[in-house]
Structure 1
Amino acid sequence: MDRRDLLAAGAALGTAGLAGCAGLFETQSARRGQFTTVEDRGPQVYHPTHSDGMTMIGSGTNGRYRLGLMYSYAHAFWTITGSDTNRADVGDEETVHLMATVWDDETGTVLPSANVSAEVLKGGETVDSRSLWPMLSQNMGYHFGDNMVLDGDGTYTARIEVGAMQARRLGALRDAFDEGATIEVEFDHERSTIGDLPYEEFPDEKGNAGALDPAEMDAPIAQVPEPDALPGTVLGSATSGDAEFVAFRPDDAPEFVDGGAYLAVSPRTPYNRYPLPFMGLAGTLSRGGETLFEDRFEPAVGPEIGYHYGAGVEAVESGDSLALAVNTPPGVARHEGYETAFIDMPEMDLTLEA
């Protein structure tokens, strides 16, 4: 299935060693040949077996779009189709794991585009080209990436195509990102750079409930606010599939809500509060046994709220019942520690406190 079809159905950055500078160091060739994870891991977020080093290789802008480009050595990850995960192993010719983060240059908001592709050129000739997976990793959060081929040492140009934002935009993002953009990043590559990246193992923590800390980055990383920092009234929360869902009513309803209230739901990962994009989320709002709203919650993003799902309703009162159903789990590829969570997500029932 085409990656963009998959999504339709269902934050440049630091320096070398962002994922951890202490630990065991190995050569690129040794690391490429291994795949590690824990046995009998449950359907939860867990501490991974290791942390991969990465390095920033360049950045670029086009209008309000800003992009940071990084790479690590090529490694396995998991894709998802519906509720089924598939491990994507490293191909014989793939040499690096290329990663991109896209954000608004004015507000620093990480942008949840569904369609990002990369063409890598050397000497004007295409070396590799592919659509990038929207991904979730514990040290980097939401980004785009894939294993790709680089043809030895030299100077390269990465031509990144960023699609228009499909999520509704709120606040300072309202009139931006209706169209996509092309951003070119030139970078120098030496094979020794990949071989020298740090690699840290966690023999004592691996498999335990928990997560790596977010990387220290010189640019935004996609995190949603703590519940008490959301701009509005928190109405209730629930957990499903090891994700936390916070229901709230923002202080100001967006312009597309006609005379009612904006009921928002902010799903996030445990520990690091990363948003969970490309989820099919529906809700039923009831009062005294009467159904007031029953429909899909639409994805939206705003500088103060971050990525979330929302719907316009007539009003929200204390004692209202809200049933939330995840019809499609988050359509993002996952790095180790996230691949078993956010898949089997039972329905949630909340009694709202307005």
Structure 2
Amino acid sequence: MNTQQSDQLTRRRALQLAVASGSIMLAGCTGDETEAEPAGDPDETEDTADTDDGNVGESGAPPLPQVEDPPDAVYVPTHVESMRHLDPVSAGEFEIIPMITYPHLFWNVTGTEAVPAEPSPEDDVHLMVAVRDPETGMILPAETGLELTVGPAGESGSPHSPWPMISQEMGFHIGDNVPLGDDGTYEISVRVGSIGARTTGEFADRFQDAGEGTFTFTFDQEFREEVVAGIEYLDEEHWGEPGALAPTMHMHMGHGNHEHDHDDEQSHDDHGHEHGADDHEHGHETHDDRFGMFERDRNVTELPPVEDLPGVIQETAQSGDAVFATTVLDRGSRFVDGDEYYLAVSPRTPYNRGMLPMMTIDVTVERDGETVISEELQDTIDHELGYHYAIEVEELHDGDEVTVSFPSPPGVSRHQGYETAFIEMDPVTVAIDGVSE
């Protein structure tokens, strides 16, 4: 992060407690709905958050504080979400990771604008699913063709088309605020469409067919109290700071084929996690492991560290607070059919190395002042490179200038802390180095 971005973050640290663009509610079994009281003095709200035992009745969740005028960058939000994680469910070649919490505000991206998506009084839960490969444990960019059918167990349900979205804690997933109705057991059928991205390596020729899986959960007063009581409010001094909440979803799912020896439903407050000693040496006092600017361990992130990417790694660039790692695979690698180079760009969120799907990336290669390549990159999923964008290149020389531009930013919806980042994205240029021709 450069000095200008840091100054901007500092200037915009003016904070205000407010309901997240409207009252957030949880409907109870009686159908009665009571609007949440507006937040008051920040200190008073923090005291309430620290002592809340979850006995909020049937009327709804507490109002969630927001950062006023947040920076155009990734920032530490006001709270850590609480949710219930359910056991993974098979869906053809895919594995579904269900997560359920209280309805809350998120943002949809339209062009270069993040538009608030407010929960309605009818919404009862925020329903989320992540899709992964059960063999490698890698989260998959299942951004198209995913459908939900939600209804009481044993009855026909209502169809829903949820939003592809990103969260600091959950990474890439699909989710939406959903109405349910009376208390009881609900059945959710998830249809996962084929993966639209090109597949290479261990993923070659996979994920071409849709899969479907079903899970159930109990919606009742106990659930409502658990997810509300589990909300953890961060100290106000950290709200709006550069940094992110640490990823937590990988805490609740093993990698590869596995057995589950616990109950189908587990309630988690998503707080604790472990980091190696390397994470604590940054020339300052020991940080809070729940959030910050430190790089996360590889085993809790969606993408590998830059230094672990295959090929000749080029200079890392940054735009819109997204990090862009570029690497060149030598002629005739497994990524190409002939004798071409493979030029790969790996965009990721800072700190958490989360994937950024649904964006358009163009690349221009200039050699001696002349444009020799001007193409759109292909989104690709690979077991080593992860989710990335790439093209095959006939010729590439040291000194070639590769300009990466972004006609459209990531079209994914965002949870708090990501809604202002990855929107305004200027082109970046990298000079090729270490490639012999």
Choose the corresponding residue for 1:217, options 241, 252, 275: 252
In the TM superposition, what is the alpha-carbon distance from 1:23 to its structure 2 partner? 5.0
Give the distance between the partners of 1:333 and 1:340, measured in 2 at CA: 11
Does the residue aligned with 2:339 lie in a helix, a strand or coil?
Answer: coil
Corresponding position: 1:207 with 2:287: no
What is the TM-score with the length of structure 2 in the denominator?
0.72
Alignment of 1:67 onto 2:96? yes
Which of 274, 277, 302 in structure 1 is aligned with 2:357?
Answer: 277
Q: Distance in 2 between matches of 1:259 and 1:290?
A: 23
Native 8 Å contact 1:257 1:312 kept in 2: no
Q: Secondary structure at the match of 2:207?
A: coil
> Larger deviation: 148-157 or 297-306?
148-157
1:92 — aligned with what? 121
Distance change (3 Å), C-alpha of 1:28 and 1:352: farther
**CA offset digits 1:214-246 (Å, max 9, x no partner):** 112324665211111112210222110001111
Matched ranges for 1:50-65 at <5 A:
50-65=79-94
Within 5 Å, which residues of 2 pair with 1:4-15?
A: none
3-state SS, counterpart of residue 172 of structure 1 = helix
Per the alignment, residue 241 of structure 1 pairs with 320
Q: Secondary structure at the match of 1:281?
A: strand
Deviations for 1:306-348, whole angstroms, at most 9, x for unmatched residues?
Answer: 1110011013332110001001000100000000000000111
CA distance in 2, matches of 1:332, 1:97: 16
The aligned amino acid for 2:237 is D
2:66 to 26, 30, 37: 37
Q: C-alpha distance in 2, partners of 1:253/1:67?
A: 32
Question: How big is the shift at 1:34?
Answer: 2.3
Post-superposition offset of 1:255: 4.7
The residue type paired with residue 47 of structure 1 is: V
Counterpart pick for 1:308 among 388, 394, 399: 388
For the residues of structure 2 that align with 1:35 and 1:199, how far apart are their CA atoms?
Answer: 9
Output aligned runs, 1:140-219, within 5 Å: 140-197=170-227, 198-202=230-234, 203-215=236-248, 216-219=251-254
Counterpart selection for 2:348 from 249, 254, 268: 268
* Displacement of 1:161: 1.0
Identity percentage of aligned residues = 36
1:338 aligns with 2:418: yes
Once the two structures are overlaid, the 10-residue window that deviates more, 283-292 or 249-258, is 249-258
Q: State the 1:30 CA deviation.
A: 7.0
Is the 8 Å Cα contact of residues 109 and 222 (structure 1) preserved in structure 2?
no
Q: How far apart, in 1, do the equivalents of 2:57 and 2:244 lie?
A: 25
Q: 1:283 and 1:335 mapped to 2: Cα distance? A: 29
Q: Indicate the larger mover: 286-295 or 165-174.
A: 286-295
RCO greater where, 1 or 2, for CA within 8 Å and sep 6 or more? 1
Aligned residue identity for 1:230:
L
Which residue of structure 2 lines up, in the alignment, with residue 103 of structure 1?
Answer: 132
Distance (Å, rounded) in 1 between the aligned partners of 2:333 and 2:178? 43
Contact 1:24 1:201 in 2 (8 A): no
Q: Which amino acid aligns with 1:169?
A: T
Instruction: Give the distance between the partners of 2:157 and 2:181, measured in 1 at CA.
Output: 7
Tell me the CA shift for residue 253 of structure 1.
Answer: 3.1
Distance 1:24 1:230, change over 3 A: farther
Question: Separation in 1 of the partners of 2:410 and 2:372?
Answer: 26
> Is the CA contact (8 Å cut-off) linking 1:225 and 1:305 kept in structure 2?
yes
248-257 or 93-102, which moves further after superposition?
248-257
Question: Could you say if the C-alpha distance between residues 257 and 290 of structure 1 is closer, same or farther in structure 2, counting changes exceeding 3 Å?
Answer: farther
Q: Show structure 1 runs of 5+ residues with no match.
A: 1-21
TM-score, normalised by the number of residues in structure 1:
0.89
More helix by share: 2
2:130 and 2:304 map into 1 onto residues whose CA distance is 19
Shift of 1:75: 0.5
Runs (5+) with no aligned partner, structure 2:
1-48, 256-299
On the 8 A contact 2:92/2:210 being kept in 1, the answer is no
SS in 1 for 2:202: helix
| Partner SS, residue 223 of structure 2 | helix
Name which one, 1 or 2, has greater alpha-carbon Rg. 2
